[in-house]
Amino acid sequence: MSTVLRFQPALGDWITHNLDAGAPSAGLVDAMVGQGMSARAAQAIVDAFVAARQQGTAPPLDQVALPDDEPARPIVPRARLAPGHRIAAADRVVTVQARGHDPVWAALGPVLDADECRALIDMARPRLRPSTLVDPASGRDVVSRQRSSWGMFFRPGENALVARLDRRLSALMNLPLENGEGLQLLHYPAGAGSEPHHDYLAPTNAANRASVARSGQRVSTLVTYLNDVPAGGQTVFPQLGLAFSPVQGHACYFEYGDGRGGVDPRCLHASTPVEEGEKWVVTKWMRERRFVSAGEAADG
C-alpha cells in the first residue's frame, strides 16, 4: 500500500537546481524539514528525484508514492556515496563498477575524460615539488622519505576546469563543495610509490590539530587516475585485500570518517611502485565542515 504525496512543481525545480549544483541530498531533506515538511515526506520526494537521475528517467512533476506501512528510510544513509549503479555527479554520470559497505569503498567508472586528465597534468607540471609530509613531531613540512612522488595543490576553483571538477567531485562524494580541500595532483616516476598511510589527520602535531579544529576531520577520499600505468602503481588496501588498477579517468573512492571526528583505521592504503611507465593521480579529500586552509585562517 502507498499513498500519493503531492508537492508544488516549484519544489521540484528547486530540488533539481540544487542537485545540479552538487548539493548533497541529505541537506535538501534538512532544508525541507526546516520549512515544516515531515522528514518522511521530504525524504521520499528527494529520493524520487535522486532515483530518477540515477536511472536516467524524468523526475516526478508534482507527486510521489509514499509507502504506508514501511518505516521511512534513515535520513542520512550510512554510506555517503549514493546507491545504485550509476551516480549523477553534476555534469557527468559516473558508473559504479564495484563497491563495498564496511568500510565503504567503490571503484568508479570514468570520472574525468581524457582531455580533462591531460589538461590537469599540463597545468600541474610546472608547479610540481617533491612530495612533503608533515613531520609528526615538529609539525613542519619535510621532504618525504616515504613517498618518492612529486606533488602540487590546486586552489579550490582556481580556474574554470578546476571549478567544474570541484563541483563534479563534491556531487559524487555527496558532500558540500565547500567541504573539499583543493585538488592534490601527484606524479610518480618509474620506481616511485608510497608507503601505507591514512588520509585522516593524526593529532600528533599542532598543524594537524589546528587544521582539524578549523575544518573538522577528513572523511572521504577520491583518487582519480590521470593516465594508464602499464605495470605497477596500484592503490592497495592491505587490511581490506583490495587493489585498484590505475586506468585513465577511473577512480578509487573510500570513506573513513563518521562525521563526528571518528575515523576507521582499516582504510590504510599505499601506492605500489610504478614498474613500467609513470603514474599521475588527482586526489580530492573531503572534510566534516567547510575547508579553511591555514593561509585563509592567517588572513583572518
Which of 124, 283, 284, 291 binds ligand AKG (CB under 6 A)? It is: 283
Which of the stretches 9-17, 31-39, 153-161, 192-200 binds Fe ion when contact is defined by CB under 5 A?
192-200
The entry of ligand AKG, Fe ion, none near residue 223 (CB within 5 to 8 angstroms by kind) is ligand AKG
* Strands in the chain per DSSP E: 2-6, 63-67, 86-89, 92-101, 104-108, 129-130, 132-134, 141-143, 150-153, 184-188, 194-197, 218-225, 231-232, 235-237, 242-244, 251-255, 269-271, 274-276, 279-287
Should residue 199 be labelled a site residue for Fe ion when binding is judged by CB under 5 A?
yes
Q: Report how far residue 199's alpha carbon sits from residue 193's, in angstroms, rounded to the nearest whole number.
A: 16
Residue 117, C-alpha cell as written in the block? 586528465
Q: Report how far residue 231's alpha carbon sits from residue 79's, in angstroms, rounded to the nearest whole number.
A: 32
Which of 80, 168, 187, 269 binds ligand AKG (CB under 6 A)? It is: 269
**From residue 152 to residue 191, what is the string marking binding to Fe ion with x (rule CB under 5 A)?**
----------------------------------------
Should residue 223 be labelled a site residue for ligand AKG when binding is judged by CB under 6 A?
yes
Residues 44-83 interacting with ligand AKG (rule: CB under 6 A): none
Should residue 186 be labelled a site residue for ligand AKG when binding is judged by CB under 6 A?
yes
Q: Burial, 147: exposed, middle or buried (Cβ in 10 Å; 0-12, 13-18, 19+)?
A: buried
Query: Contact residues for ligand AKG (CB under 6 A)?
Result: 184, 186, 194, 199, 223, 235, 269, 271, 281, 283
Query: Contact residues for Fe ion (CB under 5 A)?
Result: 199
